[in-house]
Structures are given as C-alpha cells and as structure tokens.
Homo-oligomer: A and B are copies of this chain.
Amino acid sequence: MNASPDLKDRLAEAARYALLRRLAPALRHNMAGALQPVAMIATMLEKRLQKPAPDFAALAKNSNDINTLSREAAATCMALMTWLAPKDNEKVPAGEGIADAVGLLVTELSFRGFTVVNESTGCTAAVPRSLLRNAFMASLIALTDEGKSPANVVISATAESDALVVRISLAPTDGEPSGNASHAYRALDWSDVDALVAADNATLVRGDGSVELHFNFG
C-alpha cells in the first residue's frame, strides 16, 4: 500500500492498538499479581489480631510487609501503564529495554513451547524504548506466531558504529509442538510490524525463521 504520511501514522496507530490488545492479558495479569499479596497479608494480619495474645513481632512484620508491598504494587501498576501511555523520547540501554519488553511475554511464549534465550543483556547502547516495545515486540510476536514450537527464541543485540542490530531467531528443539497463540482480538501480521518499524525509523530484514531490526543511531 502506498500510504500518505497521514495514513502511515494511522496504520502505525492501528498496529499499536492491536499490539496493546495482544499484550493486555499480560499487563492485567502482572497488575493482579502485584496486588494480590497485599490482600493476602492483610487477611493474615486480621487473623493474628483476633488471637487472645497476638504475636507483636509477627504483627509488626506483616504491617511492614503490607506497607512495602502496597507501594511496590502501586509502582508496578504505574510502570505497566507506561505500555499504554509511554514517556516521550525515552531512551534505554538496549539490553535493559529488551529484557523489560520480553519480560511481558516470556510466560505466554513458554506456554506455547518457546524458550527465550536472551543474549542481549550486555548491550548498553541507548535506543528509544518505543522501538523495543513496539517494532521489536511486534516482530517477536509475528515470528513466533508463524513459527513451529518447541523452539528456542534467541535474541541478540549488537551495537555497531552507527547502528544497533537486534536479531530474533527461532532454533527448533526436540519435543511435541505446543498450542498456538490465542487471538482474542486479532493476529499481528507483518504489515503491522512494517508500520511500527517505519514509525521508529528502523528497518526490518526478514529471514527464514529470523528477523533483524536495524536502528541507526545517527
């Protein structure tokens, strides 16, 4: 499709929307997971207080834990909301940003027979977080959706003089294939990936069971 600049923006927004819908269960699950322990310890504390001779050390521990956990839960929820409303122009070391992005999908991928092997952690080149949360995540999803499980998903990031290259490749492993991805909303396809790659001024090189994302630092 030869899209006008305005239409290109809309197609990137549509891809971001489809990506958010795909990530929504993981976002919700992580939110619930952060909130659950607070209520659990509050219940424990309530029971302790009903005893005739409460254990003060345990009470103090529980109330301290609730305090810490409730603040952590609030911080987690706010951090997860940045998937919906990203900070403008935020840059992040590539390895750290990739770990953050992949972290949201690693459980789902594992259920589907994909084991993430993240070899990018040492890469400290600064890149836009949006590149990793949009183009990279959509590539990871499109690649695993069309790939066969079980497989290792090998992720590497190499900073060259003027560009970062992020590579995702599937390496088949022995075993029974697992279930396919469930698309409660719609599948992300390569046209979505293209729209996101273009929005972040990157380029995509697709191979057989692999993709490379090239991002110029310039």
List chain A positions with a Cβ less than 8 A from chain B.
9-11, 13-14, 16-18, 20-21, 24-25, 27-28, 31-32, 35-36, 38-39, 42-43, 45-46, 49-50, 54, 56, 59-60, 63-64, 66-67, 70-71, 73-74, 77-78, 81, 84-85, 88, 184-185
Interface contact B17-A20, CB-CB below 8 Å: yes
Provide 26 A-B residue pairs closer than 8 Å at the C-beta atoms, listed in order of the A residue: A14-B14, A14-B17, A17-B17, A17-B20, A25-B85, A27-B84, A28-B81, A31-B77, A32-B74, A35-B70, A36-B74, A38-B73, A39-B70, A39-B74, A42-B66, A42-B67, A43-B67, A45-B66, A45-B67, A46-B60, A46-B63, A49-B63, A63-B63, A66-B70, A77-B77, A84-B84
Number of copies: 2
How far, in whole Å, are A47 and B27 apart by their CA atoms in the complex? 34
Counting from the closest, the 9 A-B pairs by CB-CB distance are A24-B85, A13-B14, A42-B67, A10-B14, A17-B17, A35-B74, A13-B17, A38-B70, A42-B66
Interface contact B39-A71, CB-CB below 8 Å: yes
Interface contact A84-B24, CB-CB below 8 Å: yes
| A16 proximity list for chain B (CB < 8 A) | 17
How far, in whole Å, are A14 and B9 apart by their CA atoms in the complex? 9
Q: Contacts A24-B81, A32-B74, A45-B63 known; list 10 others, CB within 8 Å.
A: A9-B14, A13-B13, A13-B14, A14-B14, A28-B81, A31-B78, A32-B77, A35-B70, A35-B73, A39-B74
A interface secondary structure, majority: helix
How far, in whole Å, are A78 and B46 apart by their CA atoms in the complex? 25
